Amino acid sequence: DTEVTQTPKHLVMGMTNKKSLKCEQHMGHRAMYWYKQKAKKPPELMFVYSYEKLSINESVPSRFSPECPNSSLLNLHLHALQPEDSALYLCASSRGGRGGTDTQYFGPGTRLTVL
């Protein structure tokens, strides 16, 4: 089973709203990732959690706040977003390790629109 789930599938929010994106995996993976993808572009890494600790933060604005409550769940809290933050947000997970088995498996994404 290589399933990563993300909710919601679509989200429309105003610039003053607070919302959260959720990601879940039950593959026993210990690394989880958030990516942002603009149309016709490759995904851009935002955050990486390894063993529930933030291990990579790609200098993302503070209006994006990640949270990893446990090894299966990853949230992305959104506050005071800008219209340019509209994008597809992808979650991924991997076993967590140096080898080729540390392959990342992606969820279906959340399409975010900021008005």
**Site residues, other proteins (CB under 8 A):** 2, 30-31, 33, 40-43, 45, 48-51, 55-56, 88, 90, 92, 94, 96-100, 102-109, 111
Q: Is the separation of the CB atoms in 37 and 109 below 8 Å?
A: yes
**DSSP E strand boundaries for 14-86:** 18-25, 31-37, 44-50, 53-57, 64-70, 73-79
Q: Is the separation of the CB atoms in 112 and 9 below 8 Å?
A: no
CB closer to other proteins, 42 vs 83? 42
CB closer to other proteins, 45 vs 73? 45
Residue 66 C-beta: closest distance to other proteins, Å = 13
CB closer to other proteins, 16 vs 101? 101
Rounded Cα distance, 33 and 50, in Å: 9
